[in-house]
Structures are given as C-alpha cells and as structure tokens.
Amino acid sequence: MCDGKVYTLWKPLVDRLRQGSPVITLTGGEEAKSLPTARRLWKKLWQYRLDKGQAVLLVGGGSLLDVGGFCAATWKRGVPFISLPTTFVAQIDAAIGGKTGINFKGGKNLIGTYAQPLAILSYEGFLKTLPVREVRAGWAEAIKHALLAGGALWEKLKRAPLSELPTTELLAELAAVKTHIARQDPYEEKSLRFLLNLGHTLGHVWETLSLRTENPLLHGEAVAIGLLQEGYLSLPPSDLQELWKLLQKAGLLNPLPPFSWKDWEKALLQDKKIREGKLWMPVLRGIGQAEVSPVSIEALRKATRWYRQEVQP
C-alpha cells in the first residue's frame, strides 16, 4: 500500500522494494483515514487473497500508516505489516508505537487497534521531496517531543534551523523519544504514554474545526497551536516565552479557524471524559516536566482567547 504521491515521486525505489507484488495506491492526507478507504483496502486484500504467510508493506505518511496498518491488523484478525514512513511526522511519531486507526463521524482516530509492525524502515531520503508545509508540521511534533524530554534535546531544538530538514542525528533522537515512551507503556495503561497527547487536546479541536473550512490546518499545525495554548495554562513565564519564540521561528503560529464557542466545546468534549467539570490532560510544569492533571473547560477557553488576542497574527 503506497501513498499515491509518494509512488509518483519514488516509483523506482518502491517498485524495487515490492519485487513484483501488486501495489495499492491511495491519496494521502486526513481524508484517507476513513471507512470507505478501509473498505477499499480490505477489498483489495480479499482480491489478492492475502494471508498470514505474507506481509503488507506500507509506504507513506501517518495517514497511510494509520489506515493501512488498521486494515492489515484487522484482516483475518491480523496479517503482518512493515512500515516505511515517508514524512517527518511519520518518521518521528506516527510509525512508532503500534497505534492504527481511522476517523469516524468527524472524530479523530475513533476506530482503531494496537498492532506492531514487523519492522519500521526509516529512510530519511524520502523527506527531500516533502513540501515545506509538511516539514513545518513535522517540526511541531518534534517540538512536542523535545518539550516532553527537556534537557539537551530542548536545547538542540532551540538551535536547530527550523526551516530546513532535521539532521540524521536529530531525526533519530526525536524518534527515540517516542520509542522510549511507547515501549514502557505499549497500551496506554499508565499515564506515561498519555503524555504524548501534549498539545493534542486543543490541537484536535483546531484540526476538527478547520477541517470544515476551505483551508484546513495540517495535523502538526493544529498541534503547534495546541502546544502554545496548553503551555499557557501551566508553564512558568520564561518557559512559555521560549516555546512561543520557537514556534514563531518555525512559522507555526497560524491564525485560528473561524469557530463558535458551541462548536469549540463540542469538538473539545468529543471523545473525552469530564470528571467534576474537569478534563484530564497532559500539562507542562516546566520544559521536560509533563504530567497528567485536571483542567477546567474555562481555563482552556481562557487559553484560546489569549492566543486569539495576543499571539495570532
């Protein structure tokens, strides 16, 4: 299964890898993570009589890996798959940790399962053809990883030229943050893995609300907004300034999509549990000091207003 754009750009390489096996291409992007796409993929697996003695090779970004991994993981209760992430986001995040899934009724990742690939083969050469905007979206998830890790990685990111591709070394270090966390908490049973949702509580709100507009935000762009707004909730002022500066340098402080507070709240509460008027989510006490904590809807609304008034261009 290959992202259509990737297949066009990297045909000789992908053809060499698949060694005569049939190729199923699909259009990348968030729309790929849908039931109709999953149905199409299952149908192909049925046509090709795929069984457990074979494996599916997934070549693409997070969208393709999420939907393709989900189809492989559910076909005949699971056939092996190998992931070849082709985007910055996928190489440091989406390909790692075994979460697969699709969106449903406007909600992100509502249907899915955990399934580990046989292998993840990360070839950074793929990133050379990535559009600038996708590279920027990758830096958003990179900043999230560095916020969780803190220390030397945070310092490295502050110095990194964010308009360029990451170095091989940095790419590996960023991927290691995700691997390290996912390995310790593979099924998100402890709060550790839940910390990877930093910036995603409000990030998913902006992603959902912008999907209805003409110019939807990319997942990473939405997460960048979420990171700063959620940082505003709990970070000491000097750390907040550092984060603000870094996101600005990366060109990630996009304006919020137009929204009504009613839709905002609906998107916020879509798949989350509220206990005593509070939402449990990752917050930052400092750079490298994330913890899960209860946050009121009112505080999230205040952070949203602050971003709209003080931050966005």
Ligand X SMILES: NC(=O)c1ccc[n+]([C@@H]2O[C@H](COP(=O)([O-])OP(=O)(O)OC[C@H]3O[C@@H](n4cnc5c(N)ncnc54)[C@H](O)[C@@H]3O)[C@@H](O)[C@H]2O)c1
Contact window for ligand X (CB under 6 A) among 115-123, 125-133, 227-235, 262-270 = 125-133
CB 7 within 8 A of CB 23: yes
Task: Decide whether 6 or 198 has the Cβ nearer to ligand X.
Answer: 6
Annotated catalytic residue within 197, 207, 221, 254: 197
Angle, CA 103 vertex, CA 100 and CA 106 arms, to 5°: 160
Contact window for ligand X (CB under 6 A) among 16-24, 81-89, 263-271, 301-309 = 81-89
Compute the distance between CA of residue 214 and CA of residue 117 in angstroms, rounded to an integer. 35
Q: Which amino acid is at 157?
A: L
Contact positions with ligand X (CB under 6 A) in 31-70: 33, 60-64, 66
The number of beta carbons lying within 10 Å of the beta carbon of residue 254 is 20
Annotated catalytic residue within 5, 33, 44, 99: 99
Contact window for ligand X (CB under 6 A) among 88-96, 224-232, 275-283, 285-293 = 88-96
Q: Is 231 in the site for ligand X (CB under 6 A)?
A: no
* Residue 288 CB, nearest approach to ligand X (Å): 20
Q: Is 282 in the site for ligand X (CB under 6 A)?
A: no
The verdict on whether 204 is a catalytic residue reads yes
* Residue 133 CB, nearest approach to ligand X (Å): 9
Compute the distance between CA of residue 128 and CA of residue 254 in angstroms, rounded to an integer. 24
Q: Is 166 in the site for ligand X (CB under 6 A)?
A: no
The verdict on whether 173 is a catalytic residue reads no
Task: Decide whether 129 or 213 has the Cβ nearer to ligand X.
Answer: 129
Contact window for ligand X (CB under 6 A) among 37-45, 128-136, 232-240, 293-301 = 128-136
β-sheet bridge partners, residue 110: none
Compute the distance between CA of residue 180 and CA of residue 43 in angstroms, rounded to an integer. 36
Q: CA distances (Å), 259 to each of 54, 57, 165, 215, in order?
A: 47, 40, 33, 14
The verdict on whether 197 is a catalytic residue reads yes
Helices (H) and strands (E) in the chain, counts: 14, 10
CB 96 within 8 A of CB 179: yes
**Catalytic annotation, residues:** 77, 99, 141, 178, 189, 193, 197, 200, 204, 219
